[in-house]
Structure 1
Amino acid sequence: MAKNAKDKDDGYIPLMDRFKAWWEGIEPEAVVRAKSPDQATQPPAPSPAAIEVDIQESEGPLKSWPESRLSFCRRLWGEEFEVVRPGGTEFAVRLVRPMALTSENSLLDLSAGLGGGARQIHKELGIWVTGLERNPELAQHGAAISKAKGLDRKVPITAYEPNKVSLKPASFDGALIRETLYAIPEREAFLTKVAEAIRPFGHIVLTDLMLAKEVYRTDRAIGAWLKRDAADAAPDIVGSYAPLLESLGFDVRVEEDESDVYHSYVLQGWAAFVDGMSRDDLDRDFVSRMMIEAEYWVYLMRALQAGKVRLIRVHGIKKP
């Protein structure tokens, strides 16, 4: 970043163009030509892989949530919605709406994050939501936001460990689990506890990242994604959850591939983010954080586009 916009004549391509090229898997010159056809004869530019990243965290899973990452991801996925995952609050509300719950009902959200989705569910549908979040840092921030909004009773957010979570039997009318199960080793034991906490005729809706085929467990692209996700992540195979929920007493009404929707949420988030960047943003720390987050999503989106990973939605109703 030693050069500026005035230096284009020497073959330099701005970082935002190089980032777009890296993200899309194309040559940076193609981005320049698309923006300005008269620059088609420009000299070769630096490889997008040459974008330098300082933070060592890029070599392993993205586990911690320092303030720099929290601020970045809130900006990426929707600052005003207080979320740190694709789809904002829109996806959360859409997943819960078919449960047909009201202000007389209670919902257990086991993937609460900062609680933005849970608070929006309460706002739009009137449901009392108990938010649980695996990451203690996110849970702490989420609890503070709920308290600041006067929602610490109607939408409390607390941290939990899946293998130690204690849930009162038959205490909820619905449960929501978003993109979480694939990183929980003891999934069946965990879902058994959740099932016991749901009242008869209550609902469970889960979305999870799953492998299209068993053979993909050893796929290098899948390995690259999981290396940056969680050390204990081991996605299940598409079709695994319906029989498991049936065995736990649910009538599974929906098992649907939501990969295209999820893919569009991710692309929309990153497109809006990149378009909203200014030159003032591009200090070294910001660029490093951007590339680390983007690296994770590039690996996942390429696996999704190749059909190796799918995002599956399952909706079941507990039998009496």
Structure 2
Amino acid sequence: MDPNDIQRWLNPDWRDRLEAWWEGYDLGHLYVQAKEAKAMRAARWELKPTPRRLETAAATAEPPPAVLIDDAPPAFVEANEDIEARQLEGLDIDRRGKPVWSVEQVRGAQMLWGDGFVGPGDAQFMVDAVRPFGLNPAKSVLDCSAGLGGAARAIVGAYDTWVTALEPSPLLAKLGMRRSEALDLGRKAPVMPYDPESFNPAGSYDLVLADRILHRVRDKGPYLDHLCECVKPKGSALLMDYVIDGAPASWDSWNAWKDTEPLELYPWTAQRMKDELVQRNMDVRIVEDITAKLRRLIVERVRWLADALQNATLGTTVVDKGLMAGLARELQLWWARLKVLGHGLRYYRFVALKPA
């Protein structure tokens, strides 16, 4: 073990605890290993450098108290609550009778994922994801999972193309449209609400993009029918979604994940997704497991957040309890997801072309 790691795990601060919790390390085991390493170094023995990850740690670890800090850095404190946004919260209710998205959670999500984003995958990630499709000012894109429209605006900025962005949450759609209009992108990157269960888009597009939306749709048949129909001949569909991969490694983690999610989930297997696209006369070119990439994106953003909070000046900051509550909810959701990603649930990329 590296000397810096020895000191780190003998006396972990809140940032180290957050990283260990998120990555599934057992802090008790790391402490024992660091203590042994210190003794062995003193005796001029060498210990293997990499801490052993315990496979069972993810199923038993609890979030450390340090995740919830008392103060929010000034950069994260936003303006007063928006009355119209508050009203939109009530239009999208989860199975417990609470808003799927609240103003606080939107703010907390952006604190974690970046301005204009409410999930892993920043602007550069999405720009790179659509790069193979040759977008240009003459082409159009339909984004069926817009969030706050950050991906749509990034694609417009990179390729000067036209993106119609659809979002199931009325609150996210409204806030996303405001951002597009503020950037004078109300026509090139509009963000509009829609109901995935009655999805029937108008027009046709060179690229249809759907990221982590299909697993939330109960009746996927009609959804895929309309999605494939609106792809232009020689156009493409890029679907990225959760799929089932065998039996869960831990049913406790699996059930905890499903219980933590605000809505019921209906993921398919990767093979089922491919077969359904083929049945709709789509030429499936790529079926790729990108679970490791998603996990890396999640962990990297948590580390970034830890560094940002560590480096911020907290002395004169007014406590923003709403923001911290929203961040706590977002961390809770992604902690539950991370414990099943790669252990019964995987994240796949599907690329399908529509024949001429």
- For normalisation by structure 2, the TM-score amounts to 0.73
Alignment correspondent of 2:287? 255
Q: 2:188 aligns with which of 139, 154, 172?
A: 154
Q: 1:290 aligns with which of 322, 327, 335?
A: 327
State the shift of 1:182 in Å.
Answer: 0.4
Alignment correspondent of 1:197? 230
State the shift of 1:157 in Å.
Answer: 0.4
CA contact (8 A) 1:211 1:217 kept: no
- SS of 1:90's equivalent? helix
CA contact (8 A) 1:205 1:315 kept: yes
State the shift of 1:32 in Å.
Answer: 7.6
Distance 1:23 1:62 in 2: 26
Alignment correspondent of 1:64? 100
Distance 1:31 1:70 in 2: 35
CA contact (8 A) 1:108 1:130 kept: yes
CA contact (8 A) 2:18 2:64 kept: no
> Which shifted more, 116-125 or 83-92?
83-92
Q: CA 1:286/1:144 → structure 2, altered by over 3 Å: closer, same or farther?
A: closer
- SS of 1:167's equivalent? coil
CA contact (8 A) 1:107 1:176 kept: yes
Distance 1:292 1:142 in 2: 21
Alignment correspondent of 1:316? 352
CA contact (8 A) 1:106 1:127 kept: yes
- 1:245 aligned partner, one-letter code: L
- 1:114 aligned partner, one-letter code: L
Distance 1:317 1:22 in 2: 41
- 2:136 aligned partner, one-letter code: T
CA contact (8 A) 2:177 2:192 kept: yes
- SS of 1:111's equivalent? coil
Distance 1:284 1:154 in 2: 36
Q: CA 1:202/1:13 → structure 2, altered by over 3 Å: closer, same or farther?
A: closer
Alignment correspondent of 1:239? 271
- 2:276 aligned partner, one-letter code: L
State the shift of 1:271 in Å.
Answer: 0.7
State the shift of 1:36 in Å.
Answer: 11
Q: Indicate the percent of aligned positions where both proteins have the same amino acid.
A: 26
Superposed CA offset, 1:61-98 (max 9, x none): 9853322221221121122xx11111111222222111
Q: 1:269 aligns with which of 283, 301, 320?
A: 301
* 1:93 partnered with 2:127: yes
CA contact (8 A) 2:242 2:347 kept: yes
Alignment correspondent of 1:301? 338
Q: 2:240 aligns with which of 200, 207, 210?
A: 207
* 1:221 partnered with 2:221: no
Distance 1:238 1:248 in 2: 16
- For normalisation by structure 1, the TM-score amounts to 0.81
CA contact (8 A) 1:21 1:48 kept: no
Q: 1:74 aligns with which of 104, 107, 110?
A: 110
- 2:220 aligned partner, one-letter code: R
May I ask how many residue pairs the two structures share in their alignment?
295
State the shift of 1:141 in Å.
Answer: 0.3
Gaps of 5+ in 1: 1-10, 41-46
CA contact (8 A) 1:28 1:48 kept: no
Alignment correspondent of 1:112? 146
CA contact (8 A) 1:183 1:230 kept: no
Which stretches of structure 1, 4 residues or longer, exceed 6 Å deviation after superposition?
30-40, 59-62
- 1:221 aligned partner, one-letter code: S
Alignment correspondent of 2:197? 163
Larger RCO: 1 or 2 (CA < 8 Å, sep 6+): 2
Distance 1:225 1:62 in 2: 18
Q: 1:183 aligns with which of 216, 222, 237?
A: 216
